Amino acid sequence: MIFQVLYIGCSDSRVPESVVTASKPGDIFVHRNIANQFHPDDDSALSVLTYAVAHVGVQHVILVGHTNCGGAQACHAAAHSPSDAHASDDALGRWLAPLTEIAKEHTDLTALVEANVRSQVANIVQTDVITAAWAQGKDVEVHGWVYELETGRLRDLGISYTESKFLLG
């Protein structure tokens, strides 16, 4: 089996990648976590990205967020709380801290989901994995999409990166 796609999405059971992409089990390589985060220091995500790009040879890395995301909702609530009552230093709080920071700039939940996708795509394209792949001439594209639970449709946010688009800014 040759995977062409690495799908990075949310752990939410309402958005299984096989349903979202209309693919069969085994068609795509997958990494899922709470609120579809890609932290630059997360060894799990970096290991998946490394394996997918360097060893499997995927050509498309797709970061997919979704509307009505519970993680985004929690971060939005924490960011707009009059106190630090929602702030947490446990594993979940640390995991969601970057999204909580993004949430401070957004009042609309859909806009927050979209901003999160943009931020995670930016994190992916700045990894050594992607920059090394591009330096080696590998044809790898990184995309950001949002799955709309209300309609069952994927929406391309138009933030796809190739080596040339990344270098041009």
Distance CA 142, CA 161 (A): 5
DSSP conformational letter for 21: T
Distance CA 167, CA 54 (A): 20
Contact assessment for residue 7 and residue 62, using Cβ atoms and an 8 Å cutoff: yes
Distance linking the first and last C-alpha atoms of the chain: 34
Q: CB-based burial of residue 39 (10 Å sphere; 0-12 exposed, 13-18 middle, 19+ buried)?
A: middle
What is the per-residue DSSP string for 15-44? --HHHHTT--TTSSEEEEEGGG---TT-HH
Residues annotated as catalytic (active site), given as ranges: 10, 12, 14, 66, 69
